[in-house]
C-alpha cells in the first residue's frame, strides 16, 4: 500500500465478472480507504461498468478500512445508476464498524448489507 502522502491514494478497485452464472453481473471489490481521496476511483469504476452493460453490481466492501460520507455518496450514486437501467446493487459489508456508518445515516433501511459475495448474489438471482 502507498503511504498516503505525496499524491498517493490508499485505495484500489478489483473487478471480476459473475458470468455465466449471472450474465450481466459484476463484482467490484474496494480495497483501502473509501474517503474523498478514494471515492472518485470507485465512482469511475461504477460508471464504467454500468455503461458497459452491468445490471447486477456487487460492491464488496470487505477490504475497506475506512468508510465515510464520500464513500456513501458513491454507494448512493451506484444505486441510482443501476436502478435507472432496471439493474440492482448489492453490498457486501461484513464488518460491524462499517455497518455502523450505514446505520448512522439510515442507509441500512434501503440497502441490505450481506456477509459475503455468495450471499449477495444468491439473493439477487432469486429475484
Partner 1 sequence: MTRRRGRTTSGIELAIPPRPEYLQLVRAVVGAAAGTGPTGRTPPDPGRVADLRLVVSEAVTNAMEAQAAVGAPERILVRCRPEEGRIVVEIVDRGPGFDPDAVPDLPPVTDHERLDHESGLGLSLMDRLADGAVVETGPDGTLVRLTVDHS
Query: Which residues neighbour 48 within 8 Å (Cβ) at sequence distance 6 or greater?
Result: none
Q: Is residue 73 at the binding interface for partner 1, with CB under 8 A as the rule?
A: yes
Strand spans (E) along 37-96: 56-67, 88-92
Among 19, 104, 115, 122, binds partner 1 (CB under 8 A): 104
> How many Å apart are CA 60 and CA 95, to the nearest integer?
11
Which residue number, 83 or 118, has a Cβ lying nearer to partner 1?
83
Q: For partner 1, which stretch binds (CB under 8 A), given 18-26, 45-53, 97-105, 116-124?
A: 97-105
For the beta carbon of residue 99, count every other beta carbon within 10 angstroms: 16
Give contact residues for partner 1 (rule: CB under 8 A). 4-10, 33, 35-37, 66, 68-70, 72-74, 76-77, 79-80, 83, 97, 100-101, 104-107, 109-110
Amino acid at each position: 500500500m502507498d503511504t498516503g502522502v505525496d499524491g498517493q491514494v490508499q485505495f484500489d478497485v478489483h473487478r471480476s465478472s459473475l458470468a455465466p452464472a449471472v450474465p450481466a453481473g459484476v463484482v467490484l471489490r474496494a480495497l483501502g480507504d473509501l474517503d474523498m481521496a478514494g471515492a472518485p476511483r470507485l465512482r469511475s469504476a461504477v460508471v464504467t461498468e454500468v455503461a458497459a452493460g452491468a445490471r447486477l453490481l456487487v460492491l464488496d466492501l470487505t477490504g475497506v478500512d475506512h468508510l465515510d460520507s464520500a464513500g456513501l455518496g458513491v454507494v448512493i450514486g451506484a444505486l441510482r445508476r443501476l436502478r435507472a437501467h432496471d439493474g440492482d446493487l448489492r453490498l457486501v459489508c461484513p464488518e460491524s464498524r462499517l455497518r455502523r456508518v450505514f446505520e448512522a445515516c439510515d442507509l441500512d433501511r434501503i440497502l441490505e448489507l450481506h456477509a459475503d459475495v455468495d450471499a449477495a448474489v444468491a439473493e439477487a438471482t432469486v429475484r
